[in-house]
């Protein structure tokens, strides 16, 4: 069991970049798993557990881990450490870039030396000091970020179409600066990938990249998640928590779906961006923050510029430079490139390394408009790889999801003339902020005719 020392918890702020790490713990002692979960849950992005080493291979196929904490002895009465060394070798065969930290209650110098020679990053003895364990995790994750090449889809957008070439020229100019960037584009076009690319080509590449999905935050969680809180500041605040903005100190903060936050939240965010300091909930002491800000939204610029929906002063602050990611239907040349990349990825994942993209399959892909963009292409290829039992993907394996087409029908509503007319009147009125004269002029009708329609449709 780890030794408990609650006095070290206030020091954990220096391990903020662990918030982006994914960790797997493999130990047959449930008490150890519980202790590690309680210790690491507030510090890491995700944490997974297993009591059985036989599950390691399947877990590695299902999820990418940055660090694995691996016990060295699983069978009762055997303390040689050979089990741990065996599974260390197996892990390195499957995922050589994963950092493995071995833990054991029966260690000696020879065993530690052997484990390090076999590729372990560190060797920890039970019972451990919490801060020593976290120091080891922090060092391993920092080393992995610097030394291991990031996967291509995490740092660059693939494509050779003219629109993508033009975009990449702009990115090459913007990335090295600290300018705030607003990324515009439909869902599934790769806005988060572009944000990563900007970060990795900036002077802050060795600092944290913190992503916040604003669309997934409830109003009650908004301040706590972004600004952090002090212990006891509200009912569930059982300990101090570092907010995402503070966690990005020195690095890049990526606010995805920024168009989804309300005007009150926009005002709070604007204050932080203007003053470059945050105040945790329950505290009166502001903390300076040094971040590079990247935002993204699927809303078009004209909707963001609507003061009733989005503060124009905030829009200017986040939009020093705007980059528009084109939809996949405007990138015909890139469909084949992306399809082959995803085919390579998923054929390796599902142990079908010799799988090729047949001509019929490619033609099916090229003739489809991909309303779900790159995300839809990715899942289409993954599904095809799973279904294929030959050495070449054919058109029969290319099955497009009904999700996007169903959503488009839902968005479109009905097509009755009365519905179309009503929706048109509403949109034009919103455009002119309720000005009847301007709305009637744009609709090509008199003010009296417009008033009749307002009464008719109860607008």
- Per residue in 433-444, pLDDT (tens digit) is 677 888 888 888
Q: Residue 409's pLDDT is what?
A: 39
Q: Which of 238, 291, 284 is nearest to 269 (CA)?
A: 291
Q: Which of 17, 319, 282, 270 is nearest to 143 (CA)?
A: 17
Q: Beta strands 241-242 and 228-229: pairing type?
A: antiparallel
Both tokens of residue 354? Answer: 């010799």
User: Average pLDDT, stretch 27-56?
Assistant: 86
For residue 24, which phi and psi values (nearest 5 degrees)?
A: -115, 130
Q: Residue 7's pLDDT is what?
A: 36
Q: Which CATH architecture has domain 6-147?
A: 3-Layer(aba) Sandwich (3.40)
- Residue 324, CA distances (Å) to 14, 303, 346 in order: 36, 15, 28
Q: Residue 183's pLDDT is what?
A: 96
Q: What is the pLDDT of residues 286-327, one digit of tens each?
A: 889 999 999 999 998 888 888 888 999 999 999 999 999 999
Q: What is the pLDDT of residues 81-92, one digit of tens each?
A: 577 888 888 888
Peptide bond into 444 cis (omega under 30): no
Q: Residue 97's pLDDT is what?
A: 81
More reliable by pLDDT, 362 or 78: 362
How far is residue 279's CA from residue 224's CA, in Å, rounded to a whole number? 10
CATH number of 413-456: 1.10.10.60
In the chain, CATH 3.40.50.300 sits at: 159-324
More reliable by pLDDT, 56 or 154: 56
In the chain, CATH 1.10.10.60 sits at: 413-456
How far is residue 27's CA from residue 237's CA, in Å, rounded to a whole number? 30
Both tokens of residue 318? Answer: 């986040």
The DSSP call for residue 325 is P
Q: Residue 164's pLDDT is what?
A: 92
User: Average pLDDT, stretch 62-68?
Assistant: 85
Question: Residue 423 — pLDDT band, cuts 50, 70, 90?
Answer: confident
Contact in structure between 119 and 92 (CB atoms under 8 Å): yes
Q: Residue 237's pLDDT is what?
A: 67
Q: What number of CA atoms fall less than 13 Å from residue 253's CA on the CB side?
A: 27
Rg (CA), the chain: 27
How far is residue 154's CA from residue 143's CA, in Å, rounded to a whole number? 18
Domain 330-406 belongs to what topology? Helicase, Ruva Protein; domain 3 (1.10.8)
Q: Residue 174's pLDDT is what?
A: 93
SS3 content of the chain, % helix, strand, coil (to 5): 50, 15, 35
User: Average pLDDT, stretch 30-40?
Assistant: 86
Q: Collapsing DSSP states into helix, strand and coil, what is residue 104?
A: strand
pLDDT higher than threshold 90 for residue 2: no
How far is residue 418's CA from residue 440's CA, in Å, rounded to a whole number? 17
Given the candidates 3.40.50.720, 3.40.462.10, 3.40.50.1980, 3.40.50.300, the CATH classification of the domain at 159-324 is 3.40.50.300
In the chain, CATH 1.10.8.60 sits at: 330-406
pLDDT higher than threshold 50 for residue 285: yes
Question: Residue 152 — pLDDT band, cuts 50, 70, 90?
Answer: very low
Q: What is the pLDDT of residues 372-417, one digit of tens each?
A: 999 999 999 999 999 998 999 999 889 887 665 544 434 445 556 6
In the chain, CATH 3.40.50.2300 sits at: 6-147
């Amino acid at each position: 069991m780890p030794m408990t020392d609650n006095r070290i918890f206030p020091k954990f702020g220096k391990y903020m970049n662990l918030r982006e790490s994914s960790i797997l713990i493999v130990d047959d002692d449930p008490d150890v798993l519980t202790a590690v979960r309680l210790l690491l849950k507030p510090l890491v992005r995700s944490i997974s557990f297993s009591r059985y080493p036989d599950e390691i291979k399947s877990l590695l196929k299902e999820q990418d881990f940055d660090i694995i904490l691996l016990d060295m002895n699983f069978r009762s009465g055997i303390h040689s450490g050979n089990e741990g060394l065996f599974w260390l070798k197996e892990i390195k065969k499957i995922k050589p870039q994963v950092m493995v930290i071995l833990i054991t209650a029966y260690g000696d110098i020879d065993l530690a030396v052997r484990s390090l020679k076999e590729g372990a990053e560190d060797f920890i003895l039970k019972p451990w000091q919490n801060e020593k364990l976290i120091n080891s995790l922090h060092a391993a994750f920092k080393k992995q970020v610097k030394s291991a090449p990031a996967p291509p889809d995490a740092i660059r957008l693939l494509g050779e179409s003219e629109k993508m070439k033009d975009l990449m020229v702009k990115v090459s100019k913007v990335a090295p600066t600290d300018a705030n960037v607003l990324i515009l584009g439909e869902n599934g076009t790769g806005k988060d990938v572009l944000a990563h690319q900007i970060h990795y080509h900036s002077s802050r590449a060795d600092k944290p990249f913190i992503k916040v999905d604003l669309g997934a935050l409830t109003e009650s969680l908004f301040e706590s998640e972004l600004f952090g809180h002090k212990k006891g500041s509200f009912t569930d605040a059982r300990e101090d928590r570092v907010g995402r903005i503070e966690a990005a100190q020195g690095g890049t903060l990526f606010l995805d779906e920024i168009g989804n936050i309300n005007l009150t939240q926009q005002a709070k965010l604007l204050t932080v961006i203007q003053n470059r300091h945050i105040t945790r909930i329950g505290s009166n002491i502001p903390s300076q923050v040094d971040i590079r800000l990247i935002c993204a939204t699927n809303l078009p610029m004209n909707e963001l510029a609507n003061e009733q929906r989005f503060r124009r002063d905030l829009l200017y602050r986040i939009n020093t430079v705007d980059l528009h990611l084109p939809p996949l239907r405007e990138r015909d040349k890139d469909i084949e490139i992306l399809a082959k990349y995803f085919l390579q990825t998923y054929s390796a994942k599902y142990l079908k390394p010799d799988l090729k993209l047949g001509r019929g399959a490619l033609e099916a892909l090229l003739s489809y408009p991909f309303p779900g963009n790159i995300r839809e292409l990715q899942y289409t290829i993954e599904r095809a790889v799973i279904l294929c039992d030959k050495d070449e993907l054919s058109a029969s394996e290319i099955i497009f999801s009904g999700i996007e087409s169903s959503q488009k029908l839902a968005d479109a509503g009905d097509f009755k003339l009365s519905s179309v007319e009503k929706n048109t009147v509403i949109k034009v009125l919103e455009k002119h902020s309720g000005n009847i004269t301007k709305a009637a002029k744009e609709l090509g009708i008199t003010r009296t005719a417009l008033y009749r329609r307002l009464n008719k449709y109860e607008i």
